Amino acid sequence: EDQVTQSPEALRLQEGESSSLNCSYTVSGLRGLFWYRQDPGKGPEFLFTLYSAGEEKEKERLKATLTKKESFLHITAPKPEDSATYLCAVRGYGGSQGNLIFGKGTKLSVKP
Amino acid sequence: DAGVIQSPRHEVTEMGQEVTLRCKPISGHNSLFWYRQTMMRGLELLIYFNNNVPIDDSGMPEDRFSAKMPNASFSTLKIQPSEPRDSAVYFCASHIYTLSGGSSYNEQFFGPGTRLTVL
């Protein structure tokens, strides 16, 4: 069964304090790993898609990396506006086309 | 484009009442998804349509839940009768999927959600 586990559940950082969020997954053939950002009261907002081990993608202060078992979302010198819940999801070959399996998320708080 | 549109944004109803949630996907997208989000279970897929046809409804919790997509620009999720345990945020998402080098189009775009409270 495809499964996604995110850690930590919550992370508190000071502004400028870099850190990483972890997404561990088990999937029957990875078709894609997705990172989303969700602000309170809003729907998830797409950030990145990674397809193969070794792949990296960057967007402003965020950098996503992928191995065969996990993905990391690195946050460099975060700002208070980076505070949100970050969701990881996978799509595997075993599931229905387009079916994403989501983790429960990491709630990030960045204090000024 | 206005993105995925959902209505209502908030719904409060009493146990036993019928609830209908509505979704307008992004124009041109060929797949539509209904999700439910709770603190305990996170984001769960309920049902998925491709080209207006239901493909996978294995996530629909029970027969009280039904979903339709009569055309490419509209879908409904209905709960009848509603129960307090149905209280959650319901999201609709749409997606365009292509096989030919379409990796950049595989992301799903979510609506703002409907917060449902069943008393």
A96/B42 Cβ within 8 A = no
pLDDT of residue A92: 82
Residue B23's beta-bridge partner residues? B6, B75
- For residue B105, the model assigns a pLDDT of 46
Cis peptide preceding A8, ω within 30 of 0: yes
What whole-number distance in Å separates Cα of residue B105 and Cα of residue A66? Answer: 19
Assign A1 a pLDDT band (cuts: 50, 70, 90).
Answer: confident
Predicted local distance difference test score (pLDDT) of residue B110: 96
B41 has a pLDDT exceeding 80: yes
pLDDT band at B101 (very low <50, low <70, confident <90, very high): very low
Work out whether the CA dihedral A53, A106, B48, B9 comes out positive or negative: negative
- Chain B, nearest residue to A37 by Cα: B110
How much of chain A exceeds pLDDT 70, in percent? 96
The minimal CB distance from B111 to the residues A43, A89, A104 is found for: A43
Residues 6+ apart with CB under 8 A from A20: A72, A73, A74, A75
- Whether residue B110 and residue A45 make contact (CB cut-off 8 A), yes or no, is yes
User: A82-85: long-range contacts (C-beta < 8 A, 24 or more apart)?
Assistant: A82/A108, A82/A110, A83/A108, A83/A109, A83/A110, A84/A37, A84/A38, A84/A39, A84/A108, A85/A37, A85/A38, A85/A39
| Mean pLDDT of all residues in A58-81 | 97
Size of interface A-B (CB pairs under 8 A): 59
Q: Which pLDDT band holds residue B96 (cuts at 50, 70, 90)?
A: confident
* A 56-85 near B (Cβ less than 8 A): none
> Distance (Å) from the C-alpha of residue B76 to the closest C-alpha of chain A?
18
Residue A15 confidence (pLDDT): 97
Report, as an integer, the average pLDDT of B89-96: 93
pLDDT band at A98 (very low <50, low <70, confident <90, very high): low
The mean per-residue pLDDT over the stretch B96-119 comes to 77
pLDDT (average), residues B4-24: 97
pLDDT of residue A107: 97
Query: What pLDDT score does B2 carry?
Result: 81
Higher pLDDT among residues A32 and A75, named by residue: A75
SS3 of A66, please? Answer: strand
pLDDT score, position A20: 98
What are φ and ψ of residue A82, in 5° steps?
-85, -5
> Which residues does chain B have within 8 Å of residue A102's beta carbon, measured at their own beta carbons?
42-44
A12 closest CA partner among A1, A21, A22, A25: A21
Portion 45-64 of B in contact with A at CB < 8 A: 45, 48, 50, 55-56
Q: Do A98 and B97 touch (CB under 8 A)?
A: yes
Cα separation, B116 vs B106, in Å, equals: 28
